[in-house]
Amino acid sequence: MNDGFSLTVGRAVLRLTLGDLTEVAADALVNAANSRLAGGGGVDGALHRAGGPAIAEECRRIRAERGGCPPGEAVLTTAGRLKARGLIHTVGPVWRGGQAGEDEVLRRAYQNSLRLAVAHGLRTVAFPSISTGAYGFPVARAARVALRALLDFLASPEGQSLAEVQLVLHTPEDYAVYRSALAELSGQRPLP
C-alpha cells in the first residue's frame, strides 16, 4: 500500500492512499454496499469475502429489521476478520447522467458514514471511491463530491472527534484523479 498524500483538516488528517481496502487497519472501514446489503461484486464482495460470514449475518438481520439501506444512508456491522472495529455499509447512487440528484446522494453517503462513525466513537475511517465501479459514477466528478463532503465534515464541529479519514483508491488512475481534486479543492498541494 502506498502511504499517499495527506492534508490536515480541523483536528483530523485526510489521507489519500493507493491500495487494497481489505488490508487497511482502521476503527471503521466503509463498504460501498447495495441497498439490499446482500454483498455483491467490487469492494462490497471483497470486504464480505475478507471479513467472513459474520458480516453477511448482521446484514441479514438489518434487512429483516429495516428492509435494507436506502441510497445516501449508512448502517454499521461487525468487521468480522477485517482489521477494523466496525464495517460501515453505505449505498451510493447509480449514475443516471447527473440530473437525478446523484451528487447529493453521494455527498450524503460519505457524510452519513462519518456521522455513524462519530456516534460509535470510531476515530479512524477508511473509504473506497463510492459509486465509481458498477454504479458508473464518473471518477473525476465523484472525487470532487467525495472530497468536498469530507472536507466540509472534518472542518465542522461534528467532525472534531475524528483523527483520520482515508480514501483508499484501488488504481493508480483513480488515485491521480483524487490527488488532483484534493489539491484543487484545498487550494494547496497535498503534503507527501
Residue 186: the pLDDT is: 86
Q: What is the mean pLDDT of residues 160-187?
A: 95
Bridge-based pairing state of the strands 12-18 and 2-9: antiparallel
Reading the block at residue 14, the C-alpha cell is: 485526510
Average pLDDT taken over every residue of the chain = 94
Residue 4: the pLDDT is: 74
Cβ neighbours of residue 2 under 8 Å, at least 6 residues apart?
17, 18, 19, 175
Nearest to 50 by CA among 24, 81, 19: 81
pLDDT at 192 over 70: no
Low-confidence winner among 3-12, 126-135, 155-164 (lowest mean pLDDT): 3-12
Q: Which residue has the higher pLDDT, 192 or 143?
A: 143
Query: Is 20 an annotated catalytic residue?
Result: no
Residue 1: the pLDDT is: 59
Residue 39: the pLDDT is: 86
| Rg over CA atoms, the chain | 15
Q: Which of 3, 27, 44, 152 is catalytic?
A: 44
pLDDT at 190 over 80: no
| Per-domain boundaries in the chain | 2-186
Sheet of 84-91: strands edge to edge?
2-9, 12-18, 164-169, 124-127, 26-33, 84-91, 74-77
For 47-105, write each residue's pLDDT tens digit.
999 999 999 999 999 999 999 999 999 999 999 999 999 999 999 999 999 999 999 99
Q: What is the mean pLDDT of residues 24-48?
A: 95
List the CATH code of the domain at 2-186.
Answer: 3.40.220.10
For 2-25, write each residue's pLDDT tens digit.
567 899 999 999 999 999 999 999
SS3 at position 188: coil
For 171-181, write each residue's pLDDT tens digit.
999 999 999 99
Residue 41: the pLDDT is: 87
pLDDT at 191 over 60: no
What is the band of 187 on the pLDDT scale with cuts at 50, 70, 90? Answer: confident
Distance from CA of residue 174 to its chain's centroid?
14
